Every structure is written in C-alpha cells, then in structure tokens.
Structure 1
Amino acid sequence: MSRPVSPLLAFAVAALGIAIFSSMDAVMKGLVIGLGAYNALTWRMLAGTVVSGIPYALSRPRMPPRAVLRIHLVRGIVSAIMAFLFFWGLGRVPMAQAIALSFIAPIIALFLAALILKERITRATAIATAMAFAGVLVILWGQARAELGPQAFWGAIAILASAVFYAWNIILMRQQSLVAGAGEVAFFQTIIVTAVYLLAAPWLLVAPPLSEVPALILAAMLATASLFLLSWAYRHAEASYLAPTEYTGFLWATLWGWVVFGERVSLFTVAGAALIVGGCILAARRRDHAPVADSEAQLP
C-alpha cells in the first residue's frame, strides 16, 4: 500500500493547479477576444489531445472499466458546457469579476460533496468557506458601483450558469480521481470535451491565424498540467477540504487581468482578496489527515 499523503500537501498541489489554470484563463481570454469562444476552445482542446495523449500512450494504459468510462464521459460533457459558458463570459467581463462570480461553485460543491460523496462538512471548513464567500460579496459590491453594459451583463449571467456546472464538476473530479490515475483523467477529459465541441465543427469551426497557434499550444499545456495536478490532489483529499483552494484563483485573475489586459484593481477587490486568503489559510489548517473515501463507493 502507498503511504498516506498529508492533506496539507494535497491542498498545496490543488492551489498550484488552480494557479496554472488561472494563467491559462488569461491566455484563453486573449484567444476568445480574437477567435471567439467556440473556436478558441475547440482548437485549444485539439492541441490538448496531443499534449495529454503522448504521455498517456507512453504509459501503455489498459482500457478503463465501463463504470470508470461512464465517469469520464459524464465529466467530459459537463466540462464542455461549463468551459464554453465560462469563456464566453470571460471575453465580456474583467478577469477578476469573472472569477469572483464563479466562486459560487465551491459553495455549491461543499453541499454536493455531503450529498453525493457522503463527506462531512466540518466547522472549520464551513467558517473558511463563509469567510471566502464574504470576500466575494465585497468584490461584487465594488463591481456593482461600476457601470456595466449589456455585453458585460450577459457575460456575468453566462459565468454564473457555468458555476453551477463547475460545482458538479468538482464532485465528478473527486469521483474520477479515486478510480483513475492523473494521466488517464487528463487524457479522457481532453478527448471527450474535444469530441463534444467537434459536433458543431461543420458549421462553426474555422482555421486560426498562424500567429495564434503558440498561444493555443500554451493554453493546452497549461490546461493539461492543471488537470494532472488537480486530479492528484483530489485523489488524496476530500472535495470539501480542497474546495476553498478555488478562491486562490481570484488572486491570479487580478494579477493577470492587470498585467495582460490593464484591468484596474479597486479597494473592494483588495479587501475581498484578504478575506479569501484568510479563508484558505483556515481551511489548510483543518487537521493533519483527511480520510479518502472508498473508491468503489464512488462509482455511480
């Protein structure tokens, strides 16, 4: 048997996965503005099939059992819907606001984890989540003071809808990582999402300019690395314990929004970020060992 992994290490790996994923968001925002959400996502996923497929093929994998394939399929479909809604919205609102709106997902995920995975929501986790959510409310209050056009409004609606699918995705990630290795998860996630998007290719897909190819490859590499790290983390700790790491994405969104797109950060943003970081620190100090649920119990 393998040695148990410290929940704090799993928390740190999940936070790193979120940091890499947030960096991918910045690359994707530029691609969405230039290519549109569908083409940016489809070409990124096509590049991702190579990035994730080569190491997976070199590992000489066996075909997963039918029950595991079912989890791969469900999460792939949910992820395809989630990603399109999020990136369509991201092209219309500032990065920090987009991530702040998406923070409703970990809140929903905590309750889904208790309902679906039978995980226990501890008092420390609940307090940490409440602190982080309070930070989100402060940020949204500041955003409400700014004038938003109709495109930003619909972008916000799309991101909120994406957050509902993201909450489900967090739970599916936990189920998936308990029965499949990180390389398998990254490969099947990529291949299924790509297949979903290609269904509309005859009507919507157009070739990207050569100048956008490096950004597409970079986005695919960042997405695959993030999937690998998050899958490993969720294999070694409970979804309810790792959910607060999602909030660290706001800090990266604030940084990249300012550096890449010149998006200004308000005092409301700084105050909200302080609450978010405080919640994450509290969650990370929860206990020295977080039990991992029995993998067979997670199969639908």
Structure 2
Amino acid sequence: MAQPIPSHLQARSGIVSMLLAVFLYAVLNALAKHLAAEYPLAEVTFFRNAFALLPATAMLARAGGWRSLRTEHLGGHFWRAAIGLTSMVLLFLSYHLMPMADAVALSFSAPLFLTALSVPVLGERVGPYRWGAVAVGFAGVLVIVQPGRGMLNTGALVGLSAAVAYAFAMMAMRQLGRTEAPVTTVFYFTAFSTLLSAVALPFVWTMPTAEGFALMAAMGLVGGGAQYFATRAYALAPAAVISPFNYAGILWACLFGWLFWGDWPGTHVLAGAAIVIASGLLILIRETRRRAEAETCDTSPDMSHTLPLSTGRKH
C-alpha cells in the first residue's frame, strides 16, 4: 500500500503546480496578444478552446474517464461556459488594446467584484472587514486607470468588464463546485466554449498561415496545461496557501511586455497593482478564516447548539 504524502510536501507540490500554471497562463496571454493583432478575436478564441480540449480530455481520462461527465447540472455548465467565454474574449481584447501588465493588473480586480456581487447574487453576508478591503482595492483600480488624467480609455473599460465577467464566472463555479468535480467543470467549460466560439467563425474566418496555426495550437495546448496545473495545485493544498501565487502573473506580464512589445508599466500601474493585490490577499485571509469558523461550527459537538452552521452564505 502506498504511503500517504506528507502535508508539507503536498503544499510544496501545490505551490510549484500553481507557479507553473501562472507561467503557462502568461505565455497564453502573450500568444493571444500577438495573434489578436493578425487574426479576428473570435478565431483566436476558438483555437484557444479547441486545442485545449486535448489536455482537458487527458485530465478526464486520469479522473475516471467518461463517467466523470455525468451531471445533473448541464445548464449550469453551459452558463458557466458562456460567461467564462465572455470574460476570455474581453480579456484577450484588453491585451490587444493596452500593455499586458496594465491589463493583468486590472484583471486582479476580479476578487473585488466577486466579493461585492456575492451579496446581491448569492445572498452572502459581507462584513465591514471585507467591505473595507474592497474599498481599498477599488482605490487601487482608480490609481491604475487614473480617470482624472484621461487614462480611463477603451482598453481600461474592456479590462474592467473582463474582471466583472470573470467574477460572475467564479460565482457560477462556486455553485457548481458544491456537486461537480473540478475536472468535470473544466471539460464542460472547454467543450461548450469551443462550440460557442465556433458560431462566429463563418463570419470572421481568416485562413491562418502555417506559423499562425502553430501558434494558435500552442496557445490552446498551453491553456489546457495551465488549467491542469491550476486544478492540481488546488487539489494538493488549501486555497489560502495556493491563491497568493496567482499574483506572480504580474511579474511575467511585465517581463513579456517589455521583451516583446517594449512596454513597461508606469509607476501608477505598479502602485495600483500593489494596492489591488494587497486588498485581494486581505479578502482571501478573511474568507479563509470565515470558512474555518464555519467548519468548526459544523464539527464541534460542544458548540453546535449555540453557533450557526454557516456564516452568512445562503444555500
């Protein structure tokens, strides 16, 4: 019988997996920015999803084969794919319209929108601690876009719209995560996104060159690999350990933007990104403590009759 892997080694493997995922996502974003300058965005999005089906299918095979696709929430998977695809298209467009680091910095505002929208959409109760973190985070967004200096341009608006759409996608993932395995959600998202993005192809199709096709194939495979390593990371270690490493993406965005496009983020972008990241980490810490308290209430035999079984979330 195989010996269980010690928890500290699992955490280390989870961190390495997340860092790999972040790097692959950065490569994916750079490829999307490059390809969007030559091909219609709908076509780029289609190939990103179509080739990602290969890693998604491999993940499915490792998780138990086609039996893992059994679900009673096919409509929920379709909705998650539709809103996730919208976020993807807007994110790729923001990369096309503005420097990579600026777009990535704005994408970090998604947890802020998720926290704010969870109140009216999911019926969650957000306390003053997290509302304060949200307020600070949005102040960081204002530092990035500098509306008083005319920096709130089309690219910034598209980037913020992508963050809002991603927040809605994450809320759909929360709902699905109560009953669905991660690999099931990943496969259905990739499959439905491929079908949905294919609808626009007859209207925008541009025959790719051999190099363009190879880059689009690489983009899809890299994206699928990033999803695999991100899924593996969260399976190996708690979100509180793994999630902060997502913010390493700003380092790769700065590096790739400088190497390939000669872009370097301004001081205001780096300062605003630091504020947004700090607020996101504060929300993560509070959310982790809140869940730990809820689990304690669920499992403590001495206190279960006096403490609520949840801390504000309505099921």
User: Secondary structure of the equivalent of 1:47?
Assistant: helix
1:52-102 deviation per Cα after TM superposition (whole angstroms, max 9, x unaligned): 123324532326455321221111111222222221232121112223344
Q: In structure 1, what is the Cα distance between the partners aligned to 2:128 and 2:76? A: 30
Letter of the 1:96 counterpart: A
TM superposition shift of 1:189: 0.8
Task: Sort the Cα spacing of 1:278 and 1:101 in 2 relative to 1 into closer, same or farther, 3 A.
Answer: closer
Counterpart in 2 of 1:29?
A: 33
Counterpart in 2 of 1:109?
A: 114
Alignment of 1:123-202 (within 5 A): 123-141=128-146, 145=149, 153-202=153-202
TM-score normalized with structure 1 length:
0.75
Counterpart in 2 of 1:91?
A: 96
Letter of the 1:105 counterpart: A
Letter of the 1:135 counterpart: G
Task: Sort the Cα spacing of 1:250 and 1:194 in 2 relative to 1 into closer, same or farther, 3 A.
Answer: same
How many aligned residue pairs are there? 287
Contact kept, 8 Å, 1:244 with 1:283, in 2: the verdict is: no
Alignment of 1:1-300 (within 5 A): 17-18=21-22, 20-57=24-61, 59-62=64-67, 64-141=69-146, 145=149, 153-230=153-230, 249-283=249-283, 285-286=285-286, 290-291=291-292
Larger radius of gyration: 2
User: Secondary structure of the equivalent of 1:113?
Assistant: helix
Q: In structure 1, what is the Cα distance between the partners aligned to 2:169 and 2:141? A: 20
TM-score normalized with structure 2 length:
0.72
Task: Sort the Cα spacing of 1:38 and 1:66 in 2 relative to 1 into closer, same or farther, 3 A.
Answer: same
TM superposition shift of 1:191: 0.7
Identity %: 26
Q: In structure 2, what is the Cα distance between the partners aligned to 1:169 and 1:244? A: 20
User: Secondary structure of the equivalent of 2:272?
Assistant: helix
Higher mean Cα deviation, 22-31 or 117-126?
A: 117-126
User: Secondary structure of the equivalent of 2:191?
Assistant: helix
Q: In structure 2, what is the Cα distance between the partners aligned to 1:89 and 1:277? A: 19
Contact kept, 8 Å, 2:32 with 2:44, in 1: the verdict is: yes
Task: Sort the Cα spacing of 1:107 and 1:55 in 2 relative to 1 into closer, same or farther, 3 A.
Answer: closer
Q: In structure 2, what is the Cα distance between the partners aligned to 1:123 and 1:186? A: 34
Which stretches in structure 2 are left out of the alignment for 5+ residues?
1-6, 299-312
Q: In structure 1, what is the Cα distance between the partners aligned to 2:281 and 2:156? A: 28
1:149-171 deviation per Cα after TM superposition (whole angstroms, max 9, x unaligned): xxxx4333333333332220111
Letter of the 1:192 counterpart: F
